[in-house]
């Protein structure tokens, strides 16, 4: 029984997905003395790429929300300033 077989179905699926993402580098890591370790490094690289993509998407969403809410915030600030000036 290997490591993957010891995992629950959800984690097996996740791990297999990560491993399958490394197959595009097989021509590189299969020539290495420690191919399994080399494949792990490529898996780490793929995870890093996924993380960067997620960060970029989050930044894009944050920027879109800022742009959407900015006019409302400016209006609220203006109304607040006007109301404070009355006092």
User: Which residues are CB-neighbours of 4 under 8 A, at least 6 positions away?
Assistant: 12, 15, 16
- For the chain, what is the domain count? 1
Give me the domain span that covers residue 19: 4-85
> CA quadruple 58, 59, 60, 63: dihedral positive or negative?
positive
pLDDT tens digit sequence for 26-81: 999 999 999 999 999 999 999 999 999 999 999 998 888 777 767 777 788 788 88
Single pTM value for the model: 0.68
């Amino acid at each position: 029984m290997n490591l993957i077989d010891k995992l629950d179905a959800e984690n097996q699926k996740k791990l297999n997905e990560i491993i399958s993402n490394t197959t595009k580098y097989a021509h590189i890591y299969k020539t290495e003395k420690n191919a399994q370790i080399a494949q792990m490094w490529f898996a780490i690289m793929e995870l890093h790429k996924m993380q960067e993509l997620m960060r970029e998407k989050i930044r894009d969403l944050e920027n879109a929300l800022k742009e959407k809410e900015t006019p409302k915030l400016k209006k609220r600030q203006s109304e607040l300033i006007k109301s404070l000036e009355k006092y």
